[in-house]
Amino acid sequence: MFYYYQLRNHHYKTEALPLLLCPLCLHAGSVSMSVMQKYYWLAGPLAPSSRYAIAWCEHCGNYIPKVKWSDEMDLFYNHLKKGTSTPPRLYLGLWVMPLLTAAFVGVLLLAINVSNSRSQSRAAAVTDAVMHPQPGTIFQVVTTTDSNTPLYTYFKVDHAAGDSLYLLPCNVQRTDAMDWDDVPTAAGSYIQPPFVVSLPDTAGGSSDMFTWGSQGHKYAIVEGVWTEGKLLKKY
Amino acid sequence: MAFDEHLQRIPKANWTDYEYVNKGSRQPVRVLVYAVLFALAMWAFALWRWYDMDRSEQTGSELSITPLEWGLYKLGGKWALPLLFALCGAFFIWLGFRGYARLKKMKES
Ligand SMILES: [Zn+2]
């Protein structure tokens, strides 16, 4: 992740230091020094960096390169620095950024939770429709062809009798899930006579699966339920 | 003098030449040391990514990479990213040498 931040400068103090000798022109009494501190800025102060100083000579008009600083200048710099304390506002980001991050993560987790519980309640409604089939309900199912490729189609409930469920196959069968949600609702789309499947065995944990044929070698997984003009999807 | 006036008087590109942080600021070689450390880190990263991608190619094992790495991998195979980082590292060392030479000249003038 990239943050676009700025480096800003906080100015503490500028003082003339008459005791110092300019290392460039060797003139005495003309050196001044500013103590400053960089801090990171992103819409507000984030965190302070190290303190530093720049020095210049009023006599020769030069800024003094850091590599030319004398021991005495270092001494005065440390003395000037001692009298400064970093303003608390420069640390603002160290408090605010973690809080913002925590808030962001919290909102994200909440959103995931809400969408999870929504999809869970949808899945429960689909399971309920499978376990208590009403005549006229259309199941959106994925099954397999004889050559074992996936087939996206629909089964309409004709009637239920005991543990057996009578379903009408659909004449719309798709090889991909692209237009799968356009559920054919016309009565003519479903082929008589019904075939019989066993109601799913909830104890087995696969509650949204129909099996039929000898030894249940054919199966279909319910992905959605169309009832009263509305398609309810599991996911 | 206010800080803003300093900003205008010192050319921005050379600003760090005048920033005195502590005694170490006086050593021109410091900038070179930082550059070398940075380059070493980049080379280590390059080596690590190359090693991972090489192993993934050899064994066919899965490796999750960033979109940037994937783009580079498509362009130039497993060598593209390490090479890019290695060149970046070399570039930093060159910058370090240049800074070192400039500061050394300044110190001796
Ligand atoms: Zn001077």
A50 touches chain B (CB under 8 A): yes
Tell me if B10 and A53 make a contact (CB, 8 A cut-off). Answer: no
3 state SS of A223:
strand
Of the candidates A67, A86, A105, which is a domain's last residue? A86
Window 20-79 of B: residues touching A by CB (8 A cutoff) are: 20-23, 25-28
Whether residues A139 and A210 share a domain: the answer is yes
- Collapsing DSSP states into helix, strand and coil, what is residue B19? coil
| CA A106 from centre of chain | 11
Q: How far is the CA of A68 from the centre of ligand 1 (A)?
A: 12
Distance of alpha carbon A168 from the chain centroid:
43
The answer to the question of residue B51 being in a domain is yes
d(Cα A134, Cα A166) in Å, to the nearest integer? 11
Ligand 1 center to A196 CA (angstroms) = 103
> Residue A41 falls within a domain, yes or no?
yes
pLDDT of residue A24: 92
Residue of A nearest to B100 (CA): A67
Element (H, E) at A210: strand A209-212
Sheet with A31-41: list strands edge to edge: A6-16, A31-41, A45-57
pLDDT for position B88: 92
Residue type, A30: S
Residue A155: inside a domain: yes
Judge whether B43 lies within some domain.
Answer: yes
Q: What is the pLDDT of residues A102-161, one digit of tens each?
A: 999 999 889 888 888 887 888 888 888 888 888 888 999 888 877 778 889 999 988 888
Domains held by chain A: number: 2
Average pLDDT, whole number, for chain B?
85
In a domain, A218, yes or no: yes
A159 pairs with which residues across the strands?
Answer: A166
Residue A205 has pLDDT above 60, yes or no: no
Cα separation of B94 and A133, whole Å? 76
Answer yes or no: are the C-beta atoms of A31 and A20 closer than 8 Å: yes
CB contact under 8 A, B20 and A50: no
Please give the residue range of the domain that contains residue A160.
Answer: 128-233
- Domain interval for residue B86: 26-108
> Is A203 inside any structural domain?
yes
Which of A36, A68, A73 is nearest residue B3 as measured by Cβ atoms? Answer: A36
Give yes or no for A49 touching B (CB within 8 A).
no
The answer to whether the predicted template modeling score (pTM) of the entire model surpasses 0.80 is: no
pLDDT of residue A1: 39
Say if the Cβ atoms of B19 and A69 lie within 8 Å: no
* Distance between CA atoms of residues A215 and B14, nearest Å: 84
Residue A103 in domain = no
Domain-located, residue A91: no
At residue B89 the predicted structure's pLDDT band, cuts being 50, 70 and 90, is: very high
What is the token pair recorded at B22? 């502590």
Six-digit token string for A3: 């943050």
Is B36 within the bounds of a domain? yes
**Dihedral over alpha carbons A58, A64, A68, A74 (to 10 degrees):** 80
Residues A139, A58 share a domain: no
Most confident of A122-126, B45-49, B92-96: B92-96
Residue B11 lies in a domain: no
Buried b (16+ CB within 10 A) or exposed e, B1-30: eeeeebeeebeeeeeebbbbbeeebbbbeb
Domain assignment present for residue A192? The answer is: yes
Tell me the HSE value of B18 on the side-chain side, using a 13 A CA sphere. Answer: 20
CA distance B4 to chain A (A): 9
Percent of chain A topping pLDDT 70: 93
Tell me which residue in A65, A74, A77 faces B18 most closely, judged by beta carbons.
A65
Instruction: Judge whether A166 lies within some domain.
Output: yes
Number of domains in chain B: 1
